[in-house]
Every structure is written in C-alpha cells, then in structure tokens.
Amino acid sequence: MSEPKARKTNFIRQIIDKDLTSGKHRSIHTRFPPEPNGYLHIGHAKSICLNFGIAKDYQGPCNLRFDDTNPTKENIEFVESIQHDIKWLGFRWNGEIRYSSNYFPQLYQYAVELIRKGLAYIDELSPKQIRDYRGSLTEPGKNSPFRDRSVEENLAMFENMRLGEFAEGSACLRAKVNMASPFIVMRDPVLYRIKFAEHHQTGNQWCIYPMYDFTHCISDALEGITHSLCTLEFQDNRRLYDWILDNISIPCRPRQYEFSRLNLEYTVISKRKLNQLVTEKHVESWDDPRMPTLSGLRRRGYTASSIREFCQRIGVTKQENYIKISALESCIRDELNENAPRAMAILEPVKVVIENKGQEEELLTIPNHPNQPKMGNRKVPFSRKIYIDRTDFREEANKQYKRLVLGQEVRLRYAYVIKAERIEKDITGEVRTIFCTYDAETLNKDPVDGRKIKGVIHWVSIAHALPAEFRLYDRLFSIPNPAVVDFLTAINSGSLVIKQGFVEQSLASAKPEKPYQFERKGYFCADSHYSSADHLVFNRTVSLRDTWKKLRS
C-alpha cells in the first residue's frame, strides 16, 4: 500500500494543531460566510478550499452561512448560485444552510444588552456627519452630541427604530467605544441602520438591519465556530470582533484569524467592480467566460479539480501578492492535457480539393488521445474535398514554416501526405481553393522513397463538417493590475474574438463542461447557454501554451 500524501501545512493549520494539542479545543468547527450580493469568484474558491478543507482534514463540521444583512443588495439568485458553486467545487456543508437573518431576534437582544450597559447609543447625525466626525488616519474623531443620551432614552428610541418610526438615514445605533482610537473601525462604529426594504428571507418583518461587523462575530459564536478565518482587510476589524464578544453575555468565544486574499493578474476580484461590469454591460453576465466568477470559469471550461489544485498550489499566507494568471492556466492545461479527448476543428476554413483521389470516402480510425489508449478510437471520414485552416497555407514561406506551401508537401493528421499543386483566388485576391495531390501509400506512414515530411496539419471532411462558432476568450484586462487605474479603461478590446468554422462530426453531441483539445488550437468546451445540436458554439478554455509569455518578455 502506498503512503498517504502528506498534507500541506500553513500558519492557520499550525495554530489549529497547537490549539488541539494544548486542549484549548477538542474539535474544530469552521464556516464559509458569503454575503449573497454577487456570484462567487476565484478568490472565494481559496476561502472555500481553506474552510471546508480544514474541516475535512480535522474531521469537524463546516457551516455555510449567508451573512445577509443588507437586503437592498442581496437576492435569491445569488443565494442559489453560491450553493451551486460550492457543490460544484466538491464540498458539502454541515447540516442545514444558515442565515445571519435567522439570528435577527438574538442580535436585537444583544444590541439591547449593549445599550443597557451604556455601551451603545442612538445617534441622529446624518451619515455624512458621522463620517466627518470620525476623523482621519492622522486626526482623532470627535464625540457625537447624542453620545451621552440616557440608557432609558436609547432603549426607547431603539424600540421606535424597530417599529419603523424613524426615516431611513435619520438615526442609527452606534457602539460607544473610543472616538480617539488609532483604529478608525473602533471610533463608535455603527451597529444598526434603518432600511425599509424587503428581505429575501425575513420579508418585511424588520426595518432595521445589523451591520456586518456586529452580525458576523455573534453569528460565529452562536454557531460554535472555533476558528473564524477571513482575509487581511478584516485585520483591524478583529478589534471590534473581540470588543463585541467581550461585552455581551455569550458563552462561546471564537477567534478570528486573517490570511491574504487572492489577487490575480489581469483580473478584478471585487464584487462591487464585478457587479459594475455586469450592470453596465461591459460583459454579458455574471457567468460570462471572461469573468473570474466560478460560474464564468465553469462555462469557459475550467474544472472544479483544476481550481482546487490552483488553490492548493498558491497556499495560504499573510503576505499580500499578485498571482500570475499563468499559474491558474497551468492547472487547467496540466489536467486537460491528460484528460481531454482530441478532435479536429477548423476555425478559419479554406477548401482543399485532392484531385487524384476518387469520389469514394474512407473511414479512418483515429485515437481519441495519443497517450491514453483507454480513451479508445473514433471513425473519421476522409474524402476528396476537405477543409484546412487558412493559417496552415502559404504561397511562399521560408524553411521554418512547417505547414502547407504551394509546390510542397505536408502530412494531414492521421491521414496522408498531400502536395499543393495550384490555387484559385476570389476577386479580392484571397485564396478560395487549394488543389492538391496525395500519396496513397502514406496513410500513417512515411513515403516509401524516403522523402522527409516535416509538417502536420489538421483537417475536416467537407461532406461531414459541422458548422460551428468558436469564441476565443482572453484576459479581460490589458494590464496586470487594473486596480491601479480606472479599471474600465483597461478592458482588453480583444478579450473575445468570434470565428465561424467547422468541426468533425464526432462533436455533434458535445455537451457543456465536456472538454476537448482541438488539434493545435487549444482546449475548448461547448457553451452552456448558446450551443445546441443546430448551432454548435465552443468556448476556448485556454490556449495550448502561455502565449502571453512572449508579450511579457
């Protein structure tokens, strides 16, 4: 029996190991807490793999909890898409789905507890005034004139807020911490605000909603979470996380630990910016194959296992950095090179007539994968008239060009050696037909006279070719870090190129998420929205090589 694969460690696992060894915890309980205000993206995949992976390795539960505290930006579509993406990645949550809105009654009572202790007050400053009073990184804030209301007045006003007797923006509940704190998050943060909006879970039951920072730590405690894992932008918020739990009567005491978020080149990983791309129609939808969302990557042809492998390779640290997008592409290339069956597709067709071949057709036996015999073979018709790619022919070329040249020979993939004898052009001067001859003794073997044939090109029989649309996707942005500029000005105008061509007949029933390597062109899959038996549409997942290496060097 082979030895089990060693588990990759990181600083969070080291903390957990220490907590278990010391007896601080007897078991581990994690959670994945997305806000349902957008689709999950590749950065969320890192957090999913971390939280669910730790739970699995330490044989503990991992909850799925929607931190749904802002009904104006959340909806059921996002809730359902998040569930689907987590399952697609290969993870299952513990028990029923949780919602922070499940805890609204308890959260309200904990807010009342803080008011009773003199640690929270109703503020009637406007949102702009609150920001102005908060100060800056170099200047302390100043106290609100409403900071010293009595406990009784605060309790009565908070109840009136709950009953809908205040207009939106006219009052809020703030924690009474320290307006001179060097950490702005601790300068009397807002705990509750008024929103007359229907909630996707609670309907119109509430018109006041708790803020994320107040909700998150209490939800963790109510669920018995031991290690609350979040990204580094919440590092300062840990002080508020601890302050709230230290000042309410709740038995469980989770701890927050931060790790670096995933920053990916040529990408924006911000739900606000991704939402802007969608709402302003810069992309088709949240699952546009150029988007870094999990649904977009899936539609493009990325597999769940390749994304899990990517998250494994980049690891978990506290160091902020940008991951090269080639690292993500490498994961899917490595997988598809081994697992994707091969097929022939012509993206820019030009007609070839083999003049010395009769009208009869041959059925050639072609392997589905050159290195995977278990994938079997397929029958592909070969006939007198075929399509080849226009880029595979030149009238003249130097010796470095190893494809079809007028007056020279090349091999057709898994078929015969052909020679270009003459051409026919249209009125614009573009080659319309290439007339060739073939050597009938060269089916999958070298010419008997020892001629050396250097090039190999792919082809499709015209009589059996299926029309297909090819969507060639590339990086959505033209610069490595679009966040340093107005990101909309950095959109890559060549991020989608559409071509009309043909595929071999074996692809008539190609299914979405089923990968193929189109010989010499890249890895593709049928589009889940537009492809059908009557109109085949293929998305390029990734090219065969990192074509941007040359551009960057």
Active-site positions?
35, 261, 271
Distance CA 477, CA 494 (A): 9
The sign of the CA dihedral 117, 119, 122, 124 is: positive
- Please give the structure tokens belonging to residue 271: 């739900």
167: left (phi over 0), alpha (psi -120 to 50) or beta: beta
Distance CA 177, CA 149 (A): 15
| 436-460 burial code (b ≥16 CB/10 A, e <16) | bbbbeebeeeeeeeeeebeebbbbb
Cβ atoms 364, 353 nearer than 8 A: no
Strands (E), 260-414: 263-264, 322-323, 342-343, 345-346, 349-354, 362-367, 377-382, 385-389, 393-394, 404-405, 409-412
CA distances to 48, 215, 398 from 424, rounded to whole Å, are: 58, 73, 22
Amino acid, res. 313: R
The sign of the CA dihedral 337, 339, 341, 347 is: negative
Distance CA 12, CA 26 (A): 16
Distance CA 432, CA 426 (A): 6
Distance CA 399, CA 406 (A): 13
Distance CA 293, CA 378 (A): 35
Distance CA 237, CA 256 (A): 9
- Please give the structure tokens belonging to residue 379: 């029958």
Cβ atoms 208, 162 nearer than 8 A: yes
Please write down the HEC assignment for all residues of 172-236.
EEEECCCCCCCCHHHCCCEEEEECCCCECCCECCCCEEECHHHHHHHHHHHCCCCEEEEEHHHCC
SS3 127: helix
- CA-nearest of 313, 317, 99, 110 to 229 is 317
The DSSP code sequence of 69-126 is --TTT--HHHHHHHHHHHHHHT---SSSPEEGGGGHHHHHHHHHHHHHTT-EEEE-S-
| Residue bearing tokens 């569930």 | 83
